Copies of this chain bind each other. A is one copy, B any other.
Amino acid sequence: MIQPNIPETKQPRIVIVGGGFGGVNLAKHLKDLPVQVVLLDRNNYHLFQPLLYQVSTAGLEPDSIAFPLRAIFRKQKNLEFRMAEVTGIRPEENILETGIGEIHYDHLIFATGSNTNFFGNKGIEANAIGMKSLIEAVQIRNYVVKQFEESLLMSNPDDVRAKLNFVMVGGGPTGVELAGAFAELRKYIMPKDYPSIPQDMMNVYLIEASPRVLNSFSEETSRKTLAALQDLGVRVMTGTGVKEYDGKVITLSTGEQIATQSLLWAAGVRGIPVKGIPQDIILPNGRILVNEFNQVKGFTNVYAIGDIAQMTNDPKFPKGYPMVAQVAIQQGVNLAANLKLQMKNKPMKGFTYKDLGSMATIGRNRAVAEFAGMKLSGYFAWIVWMIVHLMSLMGFRNKLVVFINWFYRYFTFERGTRIIIKRGAANIVKLKQSVQ
């Protein structure tokens, strides 16, 4: 029989579900408190999601944007990590139910993040490709290279085009960065690796429902981003929605159709709620209603932070804060401070979001960034983007490997990791089952 085997201490136990930006930063800031921190995650690593799109487009190894949680917390003696999936809670007993058994808590924090939001369209959900997890990114990479290899076997030009049309839906930073990376594959890699395929057989589409790409940025930045994307050959369609997708043909809101086997969906995310949370506080977008202290509505010792939490105190964000890393990090830090205040019987401090700015990269020497009232674009924004992302990556080895990959790519125009890791050997069936 398996059980969590978490040592019992006399200190209060703070259980954190999720090792993303919110959970990790909260846990770190509980380091010197006389508490026992229990961190749970379904994976054993922290994933640096902002660079996930580079894994899907063969620019980075998956390992270089993931960092083992045990390594992050090796020196934090008051923390226990367990790899576990949460299945429910019994709040009246302060019990969390997980795949490895029941865990008692004094304080419980949900930092479970978000998943792809298909807005209820079953056809799209069944056939489009989301991009929120490491395995999805690796599978996309495998899939894209495979599309190219298979396109060589087609004789009908329409079949080739259907294989080499790549459609991104969602003109936010993820969609823009993906479209830019695909356009660069087309521009720099395709002529070298597949010289026999005419380049116009491959097309990259970016579809956005609102009137402009990067609509959370200024209009000026949107305009520059659109120009940069078009310059790279991306077919940008704004004010256009996706009505249906059957795995072969996309039908747009305009009635237009695009034949493609690759629809990458970056049009939205939704919170991943946990079973056992009262249904009436879970919003249609999957987020959990919290107050300004990140306390889940109706609870005093259950909290939610980051993407999964919807906090509506700030009049600038009536629908809650954006689902981005900065909010999660800042809420994690604030909640750690509040738990400390609680232990001293002092009043907690409400959360206020400090927008540090946002940025997106479109391709080599092209990025946009807005922060501290400044609008940057082009080469300088691209350098800033790289520095900020390198600095934020966890672990020296990861920083170094990512830097070298970027450096190498910059001068060689190469993508290092265009390999298809596929299954096949019979005697790994056992392993396959056991790691699923």
Residues of B within 8 A of A192 (CB): 74
Across the two chains, which residue of chain B brings its CB closest to A142?
Answer: B435
Residues of B within 8 A of A134 (CB): 419, 421
Q: Indicate if the CB atoms of A139 and B432 lie closer than 8 Å.
A: yes
Q: Indicate if the CB atoms of B435 and A44 lie closer than 8 Å.
A: no
Q: Indicate if the CB atoms of B135 and A425 lie closer than 8 Å.
A: yes
Using a Cβ–Cβ cut-off of 8 Å, how many residues does chain A contribute to the interface with B? 84
Residues of B within 8 A of A431 (CB): 129, 136, 139-140, 142-143
Per the bound structure, the CA–CA distance linking A412 and B398 in Å amounts to 14
Q: Indicate if the CB atoms of A427 and B130 lie closer than 8 Å.
A: yes
Q: A61-B64, A408-B400, A416-B397 are in contact. Are A428 and B139 (CB under 8 A)?
A: yes
Across the two chains, which residue of chain B brings its CB closest to A6?
Answer: B152
Q: Give the interface SS of chain A, mostly helix, strand, loop or mixed.
A: mixed
Q: Indicate if the CB atoms of A422 and B130 lie closer than 8 Å.
A: no
Within 8 A of B (CB), among A27-45: 42-45
A93: interface (CB < 8 Å): no
A341: interface (CB < 8 Å): no
A262 to chain B, nearest CB (A): 10
A430: interface (CB < 8 Å): yes
Within 8 A of B (CB), among A369-400: 395-398, 400
Interface set of A (CB-CB < 8 Å, partner B) = 1-5, 7, 42-45, 61-64, 66-68, 70-71, 74, 82-83, 100-101, 115-116, 125-130, 132-136, 138-140, 142-143, 145-146, 149-150, 152-155, 192-194, 196, 247, 395-398, 400-401, 404-405, 408, 412, 414, 416-425, 427-428, 430-432, 434-436
